[in-house]
Amino acid sequence: MIRFDGVTKRYGSTVAVDDLSLEVRRGGITCLVGPSGCGKTTSLRMVNRMVEPTEGRILIDDEDVSRGDPAQLRRSIGYVIQHAGLFPHRTVLANVMTVPRLLGWDRARAREAAMTAIETVGLTADQARRYPAQLSGGQQQRVGVARALASDPEVVLMDEPFSAVDPVVRADLQEEVRRLQRELGITILLVTHDIDEALLLGDEVAVLRQGGRLAQLASPGELLAHPADDFVAGFVGKDRGYRALGFTQVQVAPQPVDTVRLGASVRAGAGWVLVTDAEGMPLGWVEATGWGGPVREDRVERFGNVARVGDSARLLLDAALSSPSGQGVVVDAEGRLAGVVGADDILAALGRSPRR
């Protein structure tokens, strides 16, 4: 989809990007990540020609971006930056209508496209009438995303889009961008200095090192399991073995478990029994050792995290380790009980799975 072909950018004696060759796949999120000054922003801006390469080519769908008109190219590509970069004296709606209007769409069509984009990012018609300063930082960032989407682009470039918002809002926005990417099928190239964000969002992650050199391009799981060198290993962090579990599937079949409806009786000595509601949805655990009888609500120990069938080894392990019984509850897509898994079974399955 987007191909960097031997791209170099020099500013005098500074090499910002050095012979970068990289393929950004269609319909997914590729993250460019690396330490400060490694050439992430420069690489991104060469795609929409806000910066021109010194050497090499960038192709979108096999077409050299340097061939056409830069202004036209920029209008065809969504662009989201830190702090949103909105026009302060225009309403949210007017801000989002900017690119469709520049593309020559009539006012009604531009307005309709803008309103659709505003709703898509979770903002209301009332918020669309306000000025940027009348919105929170996170909402402004959503407007920035809406503006990038309004003209229905295939490619969206994002430069540190969430780094200026607090962690809770950031998590919401990250979730939103993942959802939008899937729903709209767009191709996103996203710059971040935060490896956790890159591993969370990226279908593929390109790690750059100082001097604008590509250190590795791989999926998050691959990056964690097989960093190309010490630099990448250091960058992805000390707990990469554990974090790789988040991208590892294990073959463990959920096992049957004794259940009791809330209000019904357990027999003494039954040990840990899973309590369900009247519909059979799991509620928590009860430990019947020295007592038996009806299970009252105050006897129920809530489980920690519940895993879903098909979840990663990390989520299964988390369910097991956060459960008072030591057995992780696994539910199906409808939230119905599929069975339980123990930490030992997950670790044994991990031991059996081939090293990737």
Ligand X SMILES: Nc1ncnc2c1ncn2[C@@H]1O[C@H](COP(=O)(O)OP(=O)(O)OP(=O)(O)O)[C@@H](O)[C@H]1O
Task: Write down the least CB distance from residue 54 to ligand X, Å.
Answer: 12
By CB under 6 A, tell whether 193 contacts ligand X.
yes
Task: Write down the least CB distance from residue 223 to ligand X, Å.
Answer: 18
Residues 165/173, Cβ–Cβ less than 8 Å: yes
Residues 269/289, Cβ–Cβ less than 8 Å: yes
DSSP 301: B
Q: How many other C-beta atoms are found inside a 10 Å radius of the C-beta of residue 144?
A: 26
CB nearer ligand X, residue 4 or residue 247: 4
Rounded CA separation 282/325 (Å): 14
By CB under 6 A, tell whether 49 contacts ligand X.
no
The site that binds ligand X (CB under 6 A) totals a number of residues, namely: 12
Task: Write down the least CB distance from residue 224 to ligand X, Å.
Answer: 22
By CB under 6 A, tell whether 58 contacts ligand X.
no
Region near ligand X per CB under 6 A, out of 36-44, 123-131, 241-249, 314-322: 36-44
By CB under 6 A, tell whether 39 contacts ligand X.
yes
Rounded CA separation 63/44 (Å): 17
- H or E element that contains 273: strand 271-276
CB nearer ligand X, residue 20 or residue 244: 20
Q: How many other C-beta atoms are found inside a 10 Å radius of the C-beta of residue 251?
A: 8
CB nearer ligand X, residue 163 or residue 174: 163
Torsion angle, CA of 164/168/174/180, rounded to 10 degrees? -110
CB nearer ligand X, residue 40 or residue 314: 40
Q: Minimal CA–CA distance to 83: which of 137, 156, 139?
A: 137
Q: Retrieve residue 200's tokens.
A: 């969370």
Task: Write down the least CB distance from residue 94 to ligand X, Å.
Answer: 29
Q: Retrieve residue 88's tokens.
A: 């302060």
By CB under 6 A, tell whether 251 contacts ligand X.
no
CB nearer ligand X, residue 159 or residue 345: 159
What character string, x for contact with ligand X (CB under 6 A) and - otherwise, covers 143-182? ----------------------------------------
Rounded CA separation 87/59 (Å): 31
Contact residues toward ligand X (CB under 6 A) are 11, 14, 16, 34, 36-42, 193
